[in-house]
Amino acid sequence: MTMSRDEVFQKVQGVLVDALGVEEEEVTANATLMGDLGAESIDFLDIVFRLEKAFAMKVPREELFPAEGLLNNPELISNGKLTAKGLAQLREKVPHTDLTEFEKDPSISKIADLFTVNAIVNYVAGKVNAT
């Protein structure tokens, strides 16, 4: 099944509207899930379930939202920022996310800002068109 990026965006938009109770206009490409759309950790589970249903595919939560696993590892965090090793691991885990801005100041309080609508669309588009 191949879907255009626009089609994927529309569907992801619908999923986020349902899961987070926000208006369609708020779900812009650069909107952050936690900052702009008010998502909390339990919402991430809801989003994963709904994405699986909408796109008829498995979405392992660690693939879509892998940063959570990194946050508890002392080798990867130092003084509230990701170490070089941590950054390398993050880069590996989130090929669907642009890290250039984040890398300038990799503080973990900013990791939440990486979760944008675009990141989800990139991930889903990549997965959907690979099968």
Partner 1 sequence: MGTLGTDNWQPATFVFSMRWIWIDKFVEFESGRRAVAVKNVTAAEEHLHDHVPGFPVMPECLMIEGMAQTAGILVGQASDFQEKVILAKISKAAFFDYVTPGDSLRIEAQIGTISPEAASTSGRITRGEQLIAEIDLIFSHIDHNLGGKRFPEENFVFTGAITSLLRDFALSGSPSGVRGRESGE
Binding site for partner 1 (CB under 8 A): 18-19, 41-43, 45-46, 48-49, 52-53, 61, 72
CB of 111 to partner 1, least distance (A): 18
- Closer residue to partner 1 (CB): 9 or 65: 65
Q: Are 80 and 108 in contact (CB under 8 A)?
A: yes
CA torsion, ordered 100, 16, 61, 105, to nearest 10 deg: 20
CB of 104 to partner 1, least distance (A): 31
Q: How far apart are CA 42 and CA 91, in angstroms?
A: 24
- Closer residue to partner 1 (CB): 5 or 53: 53
CB of 112 to partner 1, least distance (A): 17
CB of 53 to partner 1, least distance (A): 8
Q: How far apart are CA 48 and CA 77, in angstroms?
A: 26
Q: How far apart are CA 18 and CA 50, in angstroms?
A: 9
- Closer residue to partner 1 (CB): 30 or 41: 41
